[in-house]
A and B are shown apart, each in its own frame.
Chain A
């Protein structure tokens, strides 16, 4: 496997990073990077971490990094997670502390502790914390319950002062969305599976509308909606498919949440290198998190509308 860290890989321009990943030899991982600058979204770090966790440290080669920002990889715990040596040292910044280094979560108790710890680490006020805690909880529980990932979930987050956003990555190396959704719904492609996974009321645990006693099939729809109402990016990558919610126009009153993610402003593709598990990246603007209550109203409306439509579809009479 070969990973090249470019000078910039955030959700807006992550496509080329994803396309350039090379998984041809799964027995070793070689990491190279831009010589001048490395500036990457936490989901990129999580993906590298997930790949490396399957290997012994001697099978991971990281070239001598020259970029001025190389210490960021060290600060975010990449080398520690991969158990490889580095010559980079951590340089403290003004905003030091407003990040969550790469963290592996393998069970429910670890998740609860992580959620408790994440808010003071990111220096968040309580009214800003709702969306962040919500996103982390739902996404990591998805991994723990559905991914069949032996390594659990790899999580990382970073605060960006200029945009006043928290950028989150949650990645697993499990079975992927297609297999998970296929347990209850016939799907042919990873992109079709992603579309269903983002549709409210659909879960891989049952065909029943409303889900099971334990799963409602609402988690990913909630996360996408949080990003959408905040007018930020949301990206999910699994198998050979990637779906990305693009930024929408800045007027909440006109925000419409669609049950079908393909009706949202988005980009998608199904010609990416095959990612065995699932990678999710989401950006959350802190300046707009006060709208969480309004967001819940929008989600409720979209959720109920979608369930009603699906119910109509299900019981549509046949006339001969």
Chain B
């Protein structure tokens, strides 16, 4: 299991999609390819855009299917971040 502290990469407002994509490509996907679980730690993140969360996890869900969520946990999310993650996960399963 690896833990990724989002704030260390993007600061307290998670909006930079380039950095989000970097996290996905360089950390999340390689871990999943090794069958290693991923904890995305949002401690200190005051807000996030839907675009940021989409760039972070949509391709992971599309690539591995929604079952991949068994291997990813979202830690220390505030209410708004939690809602945005929930929305992205939901529409990716609908699309």
A201 CB-CB contact with B under 8 Å: yes
B80 CB-CB contact with A under 8 Å: yes
Residues of A close to B86: CB separation below 8 A:
300
A108-B16, A213-B59 given; A292·B51 CB < 8 A:
no
B58 CB-CB contact with A under 8 Å: yes
Residues of B close to A297: CB separation below 8 A:
83
Q: Contact check, B51 vs A218: say whether CB atoms are below 8 A apart.
A: yes
In the assembled complex, the Cα of A300 lies from the Cα of B95 at a distance in Å of: 14
In the assembled complex, the Cα of A214 lies from the Cα of B11 at a distance in Å of: 20
- Find the B residue at minimum CB distance from A297: B83
**When each residue 10-49 of chain A gets 1 if its CB lies under 8 Å from chain B and 0 otherwise, what string results?**
0000000000000000000000000000000000000000
A97 CB-CB contact with B under 8 Å: no
A296-B83, A296-B84, A300-B83 given; A222·B90 CB < 8 A:
no
Residues of B close to A299: CB separation below 8 A:
87
Interface of chain B, main secondary structure: helix
Q: How far is the CB of B10 from chain A (nearest CB, A)?
A: 8
Q: How far is the CB of A292 from chain B (nearest CB, A)?
A: 6
Q: How far is the CB of B87 from chain A (nearest CB, A)?
A: 4
In the assembled complex, the Cα of A303 lies from the Cα of B86 at a distance in Å of: 12
Q: Contact check, A216 vs B51: say whether CB atoms are below 8 A apart.
A: yes
A293-B80, A296-B84 given; A112·B11 CB < 8 A:
yes
In the assembled complex, the Cα of A218 lies from the Cα of B21 at a distance in Å of: 17
A126-B46, A210-B95, A218-B50 given; A293·B55 CB < 8 A:
no
A112-B15, A112-B16, A216-B58 given; A134·B49 CB < 8 A:
yes
Q: How far is the CB of B56 from chain A (nearest CB, A)?
A: 10
Residues of B close to A137: CB separation below 8 A:
13, 15, 49, 51
A116 CB-CB contact with B under 8 Å: yes
A148 CB-CB contact with B under 8 Å: no
A304 CB-CB contact with B under 8 Å: yes
Per a CB cutoff under 8 Å, which of B47, B83, B95 touches A133?
A: B47
Q: Contact check, B90 vs A300: say whether CB atoms are below 8 A apart.
A: yes
Q: Contact check, B87 vs A115: say whether CB atoms are below 8 A apart.
A: no
Q: How far is the CB of A289 from chain B (nearest CB, A)?
A: 12
A141 CB-CB contact with B under 8 Å: yes
Which among A215, A216, A299 has the highest number of chain B CB atoms within 10 Å? A216
A112-B16, A303-B87, A307-B95 given; A210·B58 CB < 8 A:
yes
Q: Contact check, B94 vs A308: say whether CB atoms are below 8 A apart.
A: yes
Q: Contact check, B17 vs A214: say whether CB atoms are below 8 A apart.
A: yes
Q: How far is the CB of A20 from chain B (nearest CB, A)?
A: 35
State which residues 43-95 of B face A: CB under 8 Å. 46-47, 49-51, 54-55, 58-59, 62, 79-80, 83-84, 86-88, 90-92, 94-95
Could you pull out 19 A-B pairs where Cβ atoms are within 8 angstroms? Answer: A111-B16, A112-B11, A115-B13, A115-B15, A130-B46, A130-B47, A133-B47, A134-B15, A211-B95, A213-B21, A214-B17, A214-B55, A216-B54, A218-B51, A300-B86, A300-B87, A304-B94, A311-B94, A311-B95
Task: Please list the 10 inter-chain residue pairs (A to B) with the smallest Cβ-Cβ separation, ordered nearest first.
Answer: A210-B95, A213-B59, A137-B15, A296-B83, A300-B87, A209-B95, A216-B54, A307-B94, A130-B47, A108-B18
Additional A-B contact list (4), CB under 8 Å, known A213-B21, A216-B54, A296-B80: A130-B80, A208-B95, A211-B95, A213-B58
